[in-house]
C-alpha cells in the first residue's frame, strides 16, 4: 500500500492499519491580537504529537528480493500477462515473500502505467489450478484407503457422463500402475481415484478441508474465495485434476501444499508478525 499526496492511506496494509500507523498530529496554539501578531505575554498551549505504532512484517527481505528478481527476469524474457510467486513457512504460514507482476513502486505510485498494476494477483486473481490440484484428490484417496500404488488401470481415456476425459498426451501409456499414473500426472488415474473412488460428496469434503471455496483470512484486502461449482458428473470428474468448476487463488493453493508439508494442518496465512511501540521497542501485540 501507500499514502497519497494528501496523506490518505490507500490500499494494502497502509490502509488496513492506518489507525495504528498514523498516530496523532501535534499542535501549537499561541494567543494573538486581531492582526495575528503574537502577544508578548499571551498564553501558549502545546499538544505534543504522538507517533504511530510500528508494524513488523513476516516478509523476509532477502527472500522477497530474490523472488522479485527472479520474477522480473522471467517477465522480461517471456512477457506473460502476469506472474505470481509466494514463499511461506509451512509450519506457521508466515508469508516470507509475496510478489506479482505487473506491479508498481508504492513510493512513486503516480507513475504506474495501468490500474492493473495495483492488483495483488496472489490473493485477488482466480484461475483453474489444473494438475496442481491433484494433491487434494490424492490426499483424499490415501486417507480413505483407496490408493493402491501397485494396482493397475488403463490409461489414455475414460468415459464419464457427458464427457470423455483424456490424458495430456491424448493416448496414455497403456496399462500402468497408479504410482506410475501419479508420476506421469495421468488425468485418467485421478478420475478413477476421485470420481469413481471418492465420489462427489467425499471429494467436496476434502476440497473444503483443504480450504478451497473460501478466503484464507489473510490480513490483506481484496482476497477472492475462488469457486467450487460441481453441477454435473463431468464437473466432478474434471475437478479431480483441477478443472471444470474449480478456481483458486495462489495463496489458497500455497496453504494447501503447506498443509501437506507440515503433516496435515491447514493454517491461516499472515503477513503481520507484531505491532511495536516505536519509543520503547516493546511488542504490543504478537
Catalytically annotated residues = 131
DSSP 197: I
Task: Specify burial of residue 213 (Cβ count, 10 A radius: 0-12, 13-18, 19+).
Answer: middle
CB 267 within 8 A of CB 257: no
> Which residues of 63-118 form beta strands (DSSP E)?
83-89, 94-101
| 3-class DSSP state of 140 | helix
CA distance 263 to 286: 25
CB 87 within 8 A of CB 67: yes
Cell of 27: 499542535
**Could you tell me which of 246, 231, 229 has the C-alpha nearest to residue 190?**
246
**Could you tell me which of 251, 286, 276, 272 has the C-alpha nearest to residue 88?**
251
Amino acid at each position: 500500500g501507500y499514502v497519497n499526496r494528501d496523506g490518505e492511506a490507500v490500499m494494502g496494509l497502509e490502509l488496513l492499519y492506518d489507525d495504528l500507523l498514523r498516530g496523532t498530529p501535534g499542535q501549537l496554539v499561541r494567543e494573538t491580537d486581531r492582526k495575528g501578531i503574537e502577544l508578548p505575554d499571551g498564553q501558549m498551549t502545546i499538544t505534543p504529537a504522538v507517533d504511530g505504532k510500528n508494524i513488523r512484517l513476516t516478509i523476509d527481505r532477502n527472500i522477497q528480493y530474490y523472488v522479485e528478481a527472479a520474477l522480473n527476469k522471467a517477465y522480461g524474457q517471456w512477457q506473460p500477462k502476469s506472474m505470481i510467486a509466494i514463499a511461506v513457512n509451512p509450519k506457521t504460514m508466515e508469508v516470507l515473500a509475496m510478489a506479482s507482476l505487473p506491479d508498481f513502486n508504492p513510493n512513486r505510485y503516480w507513475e504506474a502505467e495501468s490500474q492493473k498494476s495495483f492488483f495483488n494477483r496472489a490473493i485477488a486473481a482466480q484461475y483453474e489450478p489444473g494438475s496442481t490440484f491433484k494433491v487434494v484428490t490424492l490426499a483424499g484417496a490415501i486417507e480413505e484407503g483407496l490408493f493402491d500404488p501397485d494396482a493397475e488401470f488403463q490409461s489414455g481415456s475414460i468415459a464419464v457422463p457427458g464427457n470423455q476425459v483424456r490424458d495430456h498426451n491424448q493416448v496414455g501409456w497403456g496399462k500402468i500402475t497408479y504410482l506410475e499414473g501419479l508420476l506421469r500426472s495421468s488425468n485418467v488415474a485421478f478420475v478413477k481415484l476421485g470420481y469413481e473412488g471418492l465420489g462427489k460428496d467425499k471429494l467436496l469434503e476434502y476440497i473444503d478441508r483443504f480450504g478451497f471455496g473460501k478466503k484464507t483470512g489473510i490480513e490483506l484486502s481484496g482476497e477472492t474465495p475462488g469457486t467450487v461449482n460441481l453441477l454435473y458428473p463431468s464437473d466432478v470428474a474434471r475437478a479431480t485434476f483441477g478443472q471444470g468448476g474449480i478456481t483458486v487463488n495462489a495463496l489458497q493453493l500455497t496453504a494447501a501444499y503447506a498443509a501437506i508439508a507440515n503433516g496435515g494442518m491447514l493454517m491461516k496465512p499472515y503477513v503481520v508478525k507484531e505491532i511495536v511501540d516505536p519509543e520503547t521497542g516493546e511488542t504490543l501485540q504478537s
